[in-house]
Amino acid sequence: MKLDIQALGRALRGRRVAAAMVLLLLVAAFLQLNTMRLPWRGAMAGERAAPAANAQLARYRAQEQAKPVTGIRDNLSGLTYSPHTNTLFAVINRPPSVAELSTRGELLRLMPLDGADDPEGIAHIEGNWFAVADERRNRVHWVEIVPGVRQVVLTQGQSLALGDAEIKNFGVEGLSWDGQRRQLVAVTEKWPMRVLRINLPAFSPGAGVSPPVAIESWGPADPTGLPTTDLASVEVDPRTGNLLLLGEESSVLYEYDRNGDLAGMMPLWAGESGLERTIPQPEGVAMDGAGALYLVSEPNLFYRFEKRS
């Protein structure tokens, strides 16, 4: 067989050109993806850049997951951790109630919440004092929940009105207390989706006088806004002061530092964060002083996450 050297050269050159074109297309695709606004890229970069300054959410794994809270049938919502009792407190909007849970998700007591219309958020302040958010009325109430009490009455304590909600069922959705800065942090779900910092420098719950407050809006440094379509809950990391923002529709927990930069992200999807199944309708998040994370979802599911060493 006669070998046509010229034909072979043309074929090889053609293959080299095709290979080069494929390589160029791959590089272009990579550059395009690299410039897209992908929140998990910022999260991973933030954790590498400053591992001591954030919760390192990528290292958290589920230790308890999808555990039904026996004694609660539906509407489990906002969540907070009390170092005073080493227990968790949650709210239920229908019927309005406060539940005390162990850190393993067992129901310790269930208390009717008298005077509430649509409780969605709760935050431990100090001692036996808590703030409770009534979404429909867009109001925050301070209440004392002492050991052994079987009913909580909102009308007996101080309260703070946050103005008329543009849509009645989209008022304040979640609460957290920043004890270091004496700030109550509140989130509204959507339309508009907002993060509010309520400064209470001299406030003492139970003093009997509603405090004068300064309310400021917080926003991320990214001008395109938060990478979520709603906010279901908020928690202030007691170790760093960073904000943990829970998106219910995206099933993602986002962490932002005090400058508004995305520092981490924790997907709550099947196959991520040690989860066997995606968390359905996550509604409340809390963190204890050791960094353990707790989540509740409707109707009555409990989750606990710990950081992998």
- What is the pLDDT, as a whole number, of residue 164? 59
Report the C-alpha gap between 175 and 189 in whole angstroms: 12
- What is the pLDDT, as a whole number, of residue 36? 33
Q: Tell the burial category of 77 from Cβ atoms under 10 Å away from its Cβ (0-12, 13-18, 19+).
A: buried
pLDDT tens for each residue of 13-47:
454 444 444 444 443 444 343 333 333 333 333 34
For the chain, domain boundaries: 1-36, 48-307
pLDDT tens for each residue of 36-89:
333 333 333 334 344 446 889 999 999 999 999 999 999 999 999 999 999 999
Is the confidence at residue 135, as pLDDT, over 80?
yes
Report the C-alpha gap between 174 and 57 in whole angstroms: 20
Where does 48-307 sit in CATH, by number? 2.120.10.30
pLDDT tens for each residue of 243-294:
999 999 999 999 999 889 999 999 999 999 999 999 999 999 999 999 999 9
Report the C-alpha gap between 47 and 4 in whole angstroms: 59
Length of the chain: 309
* Residues 104 and 87 sit within 8 Å (Cβ to Cβ): no
Rounded to whole angstroms, what are the CA distances from 94 to 98, 136, 182, 298? 11, 13, 31, 12
Mean pLDDT rounded to a whole number for the chain: 83
